[in-house]
Structure 1
Amino acid sequence: MPEMTQQTPAGGEGEQQPSQQAQEEMMDTTTTTAESEQPQRQEEEEGEGVREESPPLPEKHLAVTPGPRATRLQELFASTLKHTLDKINRDNFAACYPTVATRAPGTLEFVQRQMVGRLGTQCDKEFDSILQNRNVVAKLNELESLVSDAARRKAELGGGTEPPVPPHTLPAETVLAAHLAPHLASQQSQLNAKLQTVQSHNARLFTEIQEQRAEMEQLLAAVEAVLADVDGANELLDGVVEDLAQETRAVEVEMART
């Protein structure tokens, strides 16, 4: 019995020592957090004083108004974050630190609230940063406009009773033709432009050839007229050539005698 009495206090001291260490760690964490918040508050106060002395900044651009999808995304994030932070409640936190929960429940509850608040603030900042950097709201609004435009065009077309053909059921030739249609259309337009250029060039050449042929016919007609004049002159000379020859010989004979 004396031995059992001695072992029981020893066991109690063994349990008390870890609980005191855990409590000291929690108190150190709280003190460190308070100390880290104090310089931050001082910097914020100094920053507010500087902002009051500095000239007013230009107005910021107004944020894009979120549409239904962007609003639903923000609501879903808020509900998911709240559901996640609700898991870090006082009971679950106390289950992780049972000794501190028994000996210093107020400190543990303060740390739990501070942890949940910081985690929620940090998650909100990260989510807002992602929304701004990725321009999520504007893109979701653009998606809204595309969907509404598609619905409007479908309504304008009358919304036929026949359901659209799924693309995966189309034959390979149709799919290939659909993919090649834009390229072939551009090539066809280029070929049509080239054809029109060649046709206009050929028409211009044909006109020039016609003009050259008309000019050649005029020249041939002029040459033929000249040849006809020469032939007529030759015919006139045929009747007097003999007389001229006799006169020429007579003149030569007389000149020889003298």
Structure 2
Amino acid sequence: MPAADSRSPSPVPAPPIADTPGPRAQGLVNIFNQAVKATLDKCSPANFASCFPTAAQYSPEVLENLRSQIVDQLDRTWKTNFDDIMARRNVVQLLNSLDQCIEDARLRKKRAEANANGGPVERPIPPHTLSPAEIHMAHLLPFLENQSTEMTTRLAETQTANTELLSTVTAQRAEIVALVHSLEGVVRDLEASALVMGQDEVQNLSKETKELEIAMKE
């Protein structure tokens, strides 16, 4: 028995079962129609007349009309009952499902032979020999694979969004740094202007003070 971690990939889900008759369902319908025809053909005018010789001798037209009505009634009744049984028992769907199972088995056999590369084909493990845990995982694995694929897709989308957000934040930081440098330059210019203006005022004040001292001495 293989280990739990050596499971083969989950099979592809089977396509929906068709409602139209497949090969086996159509074969069953054909066999029924052939059986009905063969049975009713036994009720030929000659055979029917041999069962009623007096009526055949004196009223052959009436007897033939009666035979035709009986044959038609039997044909309709049998086919109606057959169609009813086919519908109530889901015969077409079940036979189509059997066709799918057989076709799937053929495809898996061809795939196994191709994978064997001319060597012995590994026989599949009978399901009834599997443990409950393996059967449980066989049913659970497709769901887990779908969830893993979905999570991987979401993770990739989140990583892409984070990358775009990082690029936006980096660009905004660079813009802020450039703006700060520009403001620092403006502040330096203002400080230099204030310093120059302060020196001019001091010089003017010193000049006025000297002129005032000279005027007082005179």
Normalised by the length of structure 1, the TM-score is 0.45
Pick aligned residue for 1:173 from 133, 142, 161: 133
Pick aligned residue for 1:183 from 140, 143, 167: 143
* CA distance in 2: counterparts of 1:173 and 1:235, whole angstroms: 86
- Determine if contact 2:86/2:92 at 8 Å carries over to the other structure: yes
Q: 2:201 aligned with 1:244, yes or no?
A: no
Aligned-partner SS, 1:67: helix
Q: 2:95 aligned with 1:140, yes or no?
A: yes
* CA distance in 2: counterparts of 1:72 and 1:187, whole angstroms: 44
* CA distance in 1: counterparts of 2:187 and 2:144, whole angstroms: 63
Q: Tell me the residue number matched to 1:67.
A: 24
* Residues 72 and 162 of structure 1, relative CA distance in 2, 3 Å threshold: farther
Larger Rg: 1
* CA distance in 2: counterparts of 1:204 and 1:171, whole angstroms: 49
Shift of 1:243: 1.8
- Determine if contact 2:24/2:95 at 8 Å carries over to the other structure: yes
* CA distance in 2: counterparts of 1:140 and 1:218, whole angstroms: 77
The one-letter amino acid of 1:206's match is L
Q: Tell me the residue number matched to 1:229.
A: 189
Q: 2:90 aligned with 1:130, yes or no?
A: no
Q: Structure 1 residue runs of 4+, over 6 Å off?
A: 250-253
- Determine if contact 2:24/2:96 at 8 Å carries over to the other structure: yes
Output aligned runs, 1:1-258, within 5 Å: 67=24, 70-71=27-28, 126-134=81-89, 136-137=91-92, 139-158=94-113, 160-237=120-197, 239-247=199-207
* Residues 162 and 225 of structure 1, relative CA distance in 2, 3 Å threshold: same
Aligned-partner SS, 2:122: coil
Shift of 1:249: 5.3
* CA distance in 1: counterparts of 2:124 and 2:158, whole angstroms: 43
Shift of 1:152: 3.8
- Determine if contact 1:69/1:141 at 8 Å carries over to the other structure: no
- Determine if contact 1:131/1:137 at 8 Å carries over to the other structure: yes
Structure 1 residue ranges without an equivalent (≥5): 1-62, 83-116, 254-258
Aligned-partner SS, 1:126: helix
- Determine if contact 1:67/1:141 at 8 Å carries over to the other structure: yes
* CA distance in 2: counterparts of 1:173 and 1:252, whole angstroms: 111
* CA distance in 2: counterparts of 1:224 and 1:201, whole angstroms: 34
RMSD of aligned Cα (Å): 4.4
- Determine if contact 2:22/2:99 at 8 Å carries over to the other structure: no
> Higher helix proportion, which one?
1
Tell me the number of residue pairs that the alignment of Structure 1 and Structure 2 aligns. Answer: 154
Normalised by the length of structure 2, the TM-score is 0.51
